[in-house]
């Protein structure tokens, strides 16, 4: 137990109250110090460092608006669509709450994508922050599940058929697939049972996981300390410190970054509310037009597209055609033979390597391309988890990486946007080719990173962060 | 780098171009009268008289029409045909089973029809409805005797035909030999309606504006409130900017 602190009887009422609580709940006071007033963050954070706080803000917006939506929403296939319109029309301020929630979903992905991009360019995933990154990827995965299940709830045509398409993908998994899809749906087609279980997952299960992961993400971050645009360790063994042992390149999170973030929040809210009040459908990207038609299990829409934030991965799913499988088989065999010839490894391992490649090839030939599309879509997210162990560049930050890395990352971003765009479009021969090239580039970027990240001349990393006083 | 970008952008343009068209003719631009109370009231009258027989607007309450300047008494006296209470939703008088027998499908609910019919690159749902309601023509091959240019082989007969009269589209062939295109040139009026073509377009414009308004009755109060919210946030942003600067000015 912490030491009981006495206070002078002449102290102010406020000080006495604080003392009373501090003696009875010291953990809260310690936590405030550890995570706020004495958490030293690098002083050279730039624009890119706002999106973590914004993600937290959007999470809170989603939870609070979600609580109010659940008060009027009815998770019942016969009533769901009508209850959403009831919220939009008859519930006082219901339209505002609903638009906040629907815009919040897209805003969540916007800030999370930008947050991940920040981590990518400044090497925030590198040692010792691997777990921070891994927890973050888990948050992204949970967020995708949360968004996917939430999207079924309005029970419009896109909700219904989007869920139908995605759940059917699980049926492509060999052996267990059909039973797994049945387990997810709770029925042979998406129906009332599906709606009820998705509702349960959307409002209870996944948010709990999400909150737990956010806590782990933040605790792990505050244990190892924040990275910064220079990739300099401000709390490293040789980092300069003041007389009290605080890092000279750091600054207490509170008040310096709280005021910083409050400013960021007000700018973000301008954009966020502008969309809510002036363009809540956002041209059919945030609220799809087809979703204003009630779900009809007998009428398949001509073109089923997921919401924009899933489209890069959806593109990769569609890119894996039977034709594409031959290209992939050639790549697998080529890579195995190349490794066997090029690397100096025992003959036994060479044999195992080539044997494994042959087995994989046999599987690729015998299992439907649809399944490999699912593997590509899932793999595109899962591969992010391994980023800390794929990057071999000697410096963390893009600022000091070889120049050609910058171009490569730019192509990566453009490629991701192109894949996202193609995912919103109906299939076409040209789009298919472009998305296949894009998919190969996406995976090549990560899988070949151990090799290419070592190529080129890095610039010297300074010992202190670059900070220009405001 | 630049070359890669240009190639990718060019690829995008190509892909986008390949998907510009789908069934039906290009949509006309609907007049936007969702802020015009007289037009909305006229539209509501047309809606209740001509649409509500077969189509419901099951999420729209009659008393919400107060938002477009009608009093509860006016609604009760003039618009309440299918229900008794002004707080009820707009339900069609037709029996859904009969409707299915007659038209092959249940007439869809119209509450949010204008929102659902928007299409990227083609126009708003209002544009679609405005085109659709003005491009009916008699067609003996159809069960109802009517067909439509915006919605080919539509199951719905021309509910407003008395107003518009019967007319048929006139096409002309354009383009180089081998690449001919059928282009809509105009309309030939077979029998006159009770309205002139100009009056009819006006009436359909009112009706479509009403449908657009009904899709989201709060749309104008939403925009009005948004202006105040943004003004507030501008002021807030100024202060948070100054607050941030005040704290950071001493950080060296």
CB contact under 8 A, B249 and A259: no
Q: Which tens digits make up the pLDDT trace of A121-180?
A: 999 999 999 999 999 999 999 999 999 999 999 999 999 999 999 999 999 999 999 999
SS3 state at A156: strand
Q: Is A89 on the interface with B (CB under 8 A)?
A: yes
Which superfamily does CATH assign the domain made up of A18-292 to? Answer: Cytochrome Bc1 Complex; Chain C (1.20.810.10)
Nearest-neighbour CA in chain B from A323: distance (Å) = 20
Rounded CA gap, B12 and B9, in Å?
Answer: 5
pLDDT of B115 above 80: yes
**Please, which pLDDT band fits residue B82 given cuts at 50, 70 and 90?**
low
Handedness of CA A76, A79, A82, A84 (dihedral sign): negative
pLDDT given at position A382 = 97
pLDDT of B23 above 80: no
Angle subtended at Cα A199 by Cα A193 and Cα A202, rounded to the nearest 5 degrees: 140
SS3 state at A344: coil
From chain A, pick out residues whose CB is under 8 angstroms from the CB of B125: 289
CB contact under 8 A, B251 and A426: no
Burial B146-178 (b: 16+ CB within 10 A, else e): bbbbbbeebbbbbbbbebbbbbebeeeeeeeee
Taking residues B91-104, report their average pLDDT: 85
**Please, which pLDDT band fits residue B13 given cuts at 50, 70 and 90?**
very low
Q: Is B60 on the interface with A (CB under 8 A)?
A: yes
Nearest-neighbour CA in chain B from A281: distance (Å) = 9
pLDDT given at position B18 = 37
Judged on CB neighbours under 10 Å (0-12, 13-18, 19+), A205 is middle
CB contact under 8 A, A430 and B215: no
Tokens standing for residue A462: 């300074």
**Please, which pLDDT band fits residue A347 given cuts at 50, 70 and 90?**
confident
Rounded CA gap, B114 and B95, in Å?
Answer: 24
- Closest chain B residue to A467 measured between Cα atoms? B252
Domain range holding B32? Answer: 21-244
From chain B, pick out residues whose CB is under 8 angstroms from the CB of A267: 237
A219 in Cβ contact with A3 (< 8 Å): no
- Closest chain B residue to A430 measured between Cα atoms? B15
Q: Which of residues 416-445 of A touch B (CB under 8 A)?
A: 418, 421-422, 425-426, 428, 430-431, 434
What CATH number should be reported for the domain holding residue B239?
Answer: 1.10.760.10
Quick check: do A18-292 and A308-452 share a fold? yes
pLDDT given at position A296 = 93
Taking residues A346-372, report their average pLDDT: 91
**Please, which pLDDT band fits residue B98 given cuts at 50, 70 and 90?**
confident
From chain A, pick out residues whose CB is under 8 angstroms from the CB of B243: 259, 262-263
Residue identified by tokens 């069960």 is: B143
pLDDT given at position A61 = 98
**CB within 8 Å of B119: residues ≥ 6 apart:** A284, A289, B22, B128
A96 vs A344, residue with greater confidence: A96
**CB within 8 Å of B54: residues ≥ 6 apart:** B92, B94, B99, B103, B107, B156, B159
Q: Which tens digits make up the pLDDT trace of A196-253?
A: 999 999 999 999 999 999 999 999 999 999 999 999 999 988 899 999 999 999 999 9
B205 in Cβ contact with B33 (< 8 Å): yes
**Please, which pLDDT band fits residue B22 given cuts at 50, 70 and 90?**
very low
A56 in Cβ contact with A261 (< 8 Å): no
Tokens standing for residue A317: 């799913």
Rounded CA gap, B154 and A34, in Å?
Answer: 68
**Please, which pLDDT band fits residue A470 given cuts at 50, 70 and 90?**
confident
Q: What are phi and psi of A156, to 5 degrees?
A: -95, 180
Mean pLDDT of chain B: 88
Taking residues B201-209, report their average pLDDT: 97
Indicate whether B157 belongs to any domain: yes
Rounded CA gap, B225 and B207, in Å?
Answer: 26
Tokens standing for residue B101: 């027998």
Q: Is B126 on the interface with A (CB under 8 A)?
A: no
**Please, which pLDDT band fits residue B19 given cuts at 50, 70 and 90?**
very low
B15 in Cβ contact with B109 (< 8 Å): no
Q: Is A236 on the interface with B (CB under 8 A)?
A: no
Rounded CA gap, A147 and A102, in Å?
Answer: 10
pTM, entire model: 0.92
A13 in Cβ contact with A5 (< 8 Å): no
Lowest mean pLDDT, pick from B78-92, B121-135, B137-151 = B78-92
From chain B, pick out residues whose CB is under 8 angstroms from the CB of A418: 8, 11-12
Task: Kindly state the DSSP code that residue B181 receives in the 8-state scheme.
Answer: E
pLDDT given at position A317 = 95
Rounded CA gap, A417 and A441, in Å?
Answer: 13
Q: Is B125 on the interface with A (CB under 8 A)?
A: yes
CA nearest B87: which of B61, B65, B66, B111? Answer: B61
Q: Is B216 on the interface with A (CB under 8 A)?
A: yes
From chain B, pick out residues whose CB is under 8 angstroms from the CB of A407: 1
Rounded CA gap, A272 and A288, in Å?
Answer: 18
**Please, which pLDDT band fits residue B1 given cuts at 50, 70 and 90?**
very low
- Closest chain A residue to B58 measured between Cα atoms? A82
Rounded CA gap, B33 and A164, in Å?
Answer: 39
ipTM above 0.85, yes or no: yes
A446 in Cβ contact with A390 (< 8 Å): yes
CA nearest A154: which of A60, A289, A283? Answer: A289
DSSP strand E in A82-160: where? none
Indicate whether B208 belongs to any domain: yes
CB contact under 8 A, B244 and A262: yes
pLDDT of B7 above 80: no
Q: How many domains are there within chain B?
A: 1
A231 in Cβ contact with A222 (< 8 Å): no
CB contact under 8 A, B233 and A270: yes
pLDDT given at position B20 = 38
Taking residues A265-270, report their average pLDDT: 98
Region for residue A186 given its phi and psi (left: phi exceeds 0; alpha: psi -120 to 50; beta: otherwise):
left
**Please, which pLDDT band fits residue A18 given cuts at 50, 70 and 90?**
very high
CB contact under 8 A, A284 and B118: yes
CA nearest B132: which of B51, B62, B214, B16? Answer: B51
Q: Which of residues 171-230 of A touch B (CB under 8 A)?
A: none
**Please, which pLDDT band fits residue B182 given cuts at 50, 70 and 90?**
confident
Q: Which tens digits make up the pLDDT trace of A403-412?
A: 999 999 999 9
Residue A94 CB coordination number (10 Å): 20
pLDDT of B3 above 60: no
Beta bridge partners of B187: B169
Q: For residue A255, is the peptide bond before it cis, meaning its omega torsion is within 30 degrees of 0? A: yes
**Please, which pLDDT band fits residue B80 given cuts at 50, 70 and 90?**
confident
Lowest mean pLDDT, pick from A279-293, A445-459, B84-98 = B84-98
SS3 state at B166: strand
Q: Is A412 on the interface with B (CB under 8 A)?
A: no
pLDDT of A76 above 80: yes
Radius of gyration of chain A (CA): 25
Residue identified by tokens 């401000």 is: A234
CB contact under 8 A, B119 and A294: no
Q: Which tens digits make up the pLDDT trace of A174-193?
A: 999 999 999 999 999 999 99
pLDDT of B21 above 80: no
The domains of chain A are located at: 18-292, 308-452
Q: Where are the alpha helices (DSSP H) in A386-402?
A: 387-390
Q: What percent of chain A has pLDDT over 90?
A: 89
Q: Which CATH architecture has domain A308-452?
A: Up-down Bundle (1.20)
CB contact under 8 A, A266 and B64: no
pLDDT of A43 above 50: yes
Residue length of chain A: 470
Indicate whether B14 belongs to any domain: no
A154 in Cβ contact with A297 (< 8 Å): no
Q: For residue A47, is the peptide bond before it cis, meaning its omega torsion is within 30 degrees of 0? A: no
**Please, which pLDDT band fits residue A25 given cuts at 50, 70 and 90?**
very high
pLDDT given at position A268 = 98
β-pair type (B146-148, B136-138): antiparallel
CA nearest B236: which of A470, A58, A262? Answer: A262
């Amino acid at each position: 137990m912490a030491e009981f602190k006495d206070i002078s009887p002449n102290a102010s009422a406020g000080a006495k109250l604080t003392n009373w609580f501090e003696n009875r709940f010291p953990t809260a006071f310690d936590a405030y110090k550890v995570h706020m007033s004495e958490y030293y963050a690098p002083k050279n954070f730039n624009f890119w460092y706002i999106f973590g706080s914004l993600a937290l803000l959007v999470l809170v917006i989603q939870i609070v608006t979600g609580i109010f939506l659940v008060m009027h929403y009815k998770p019942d296939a016969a009533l769901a669509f009508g209850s959403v319109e009831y919220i939009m029309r008859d519930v006082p301020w219901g339209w505002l709450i609903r638009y906040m929630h629907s815009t919040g979903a897209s805003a969540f992905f916007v800030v999370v994508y930008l947050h991940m991009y920040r981590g990518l360019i400044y090497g925030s995933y590198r040692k010792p922050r691997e777990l921070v990154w891994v927890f973050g990827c888990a948050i992204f995965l949970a967020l995708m599940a949360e968004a996917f299940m939430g999207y079924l709830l309005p029970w419009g045509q896109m909700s219904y058929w989007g869920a139908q398409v995605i759940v059917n993908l699980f049926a492509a998994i060999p052996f267990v697939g059909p039973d797994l899809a049945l387990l997810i749906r709770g029925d042979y087609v998406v129906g009332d049972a599906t709606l009820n279980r998705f509702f349960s997952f959307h409002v209870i299960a996944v948010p709990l996981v999400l909150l737990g992961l956010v806590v782990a993400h933040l605790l792990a971050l505050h244990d190892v300390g924040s990275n910064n645009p220079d990739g300099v360790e401000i709390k490293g063994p040789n980092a300069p410190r003041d007389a009290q042992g605080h890092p000279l390149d750091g600054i207490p999170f509170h008040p310096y970054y709280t005021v910083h973030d409050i400013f960021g929040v007000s700018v973000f809210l301008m954009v966020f509310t502008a969309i809510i009040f002036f363009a809540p459908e956002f041209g059919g990207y945030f609220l799809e037009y087809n979703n204003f038609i009630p779900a009809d299990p007998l009428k398949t829409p001509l073109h089923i597209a997921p919401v924009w934030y899933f489209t890069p991965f959806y593109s990769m799913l569609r890119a894996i055609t039977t034709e594409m499988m031959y290209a992939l088989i050639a790549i697998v065999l080529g890579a195995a033979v190349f490794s066997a010839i090029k690397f100096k490894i025992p003959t036994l391992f060479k044999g195992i390597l080539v044997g494994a490649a042959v087995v994989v090839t046999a599987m690729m030939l015998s299992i439907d391309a649809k399944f490999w599309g699912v593997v590509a879509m899932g793999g595109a997210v899962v591969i992010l988890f391994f980023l800390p162990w794929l990057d071999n560049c000697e410096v963390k930050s893009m600022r000091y990486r070889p120049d050609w890395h910058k171009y490569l990352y730019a192509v990566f971003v453009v490629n991701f946007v192109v894949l996202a765009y193609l995912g919103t479009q109906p299939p076409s021969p040209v789009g298919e080719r472009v998305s296949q090239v894009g998919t190969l580039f996406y995976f090549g970027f990560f899988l070949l990173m151990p090799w290419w990240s070592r190529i080129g001349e890095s610039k010297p990393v300074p010992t202190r962060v670059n900070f220009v006083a405001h | 780098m630049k070359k890669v970008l240009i190639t990718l952008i060019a690829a995008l343009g190509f892909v986008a171009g390949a998907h510009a068209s789908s069934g039906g003719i290009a949509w006309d631009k609907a007049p936007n009268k969702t802020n015009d109370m007289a037009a909305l009231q006229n539209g509501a009258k047309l809606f209740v008289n001509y649409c509500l027989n077969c189509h419901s607007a099951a999420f729209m309450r009659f008393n919400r029409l107060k938002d477009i300047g009608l009093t509860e008494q006016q609604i009760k006296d003039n618009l309440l045909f299918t229900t008794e209470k002004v707080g009820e939703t707009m339900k069609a008088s037709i029996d859904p089973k009969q409707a299915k027998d007659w038209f092959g499908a249940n007439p869809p609910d119209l509450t949010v029809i204008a929102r659902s019919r928007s299409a990227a690159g083609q126009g708003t749902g209002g544009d679609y409805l405005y085109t659709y309601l003005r491009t009916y023509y008699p067609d003996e091959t159809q069960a109802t005797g009517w067909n439509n240019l915006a919605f080919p082989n539509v199951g719905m007969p021309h509910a407003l035909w008395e107003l518009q009269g019967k007319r048929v589209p006139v096409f002309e062939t354009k383009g180089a030999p081998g690449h001919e295109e059928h282009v809509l040139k105009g309309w030939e009026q077979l029998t006159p309606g009770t309205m002139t073509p100009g009056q009819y377009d006006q009436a359909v414009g009112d009706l479509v504006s009403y449908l657009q308004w009904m899709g989201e009755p709060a749309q104008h109060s939403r925009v009005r409130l948004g202006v105040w919210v943004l003004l507030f946030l501008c002021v807030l942003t100024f202060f948070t900017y100054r607050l941030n600067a005040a704290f950071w000015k001493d950080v060296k």
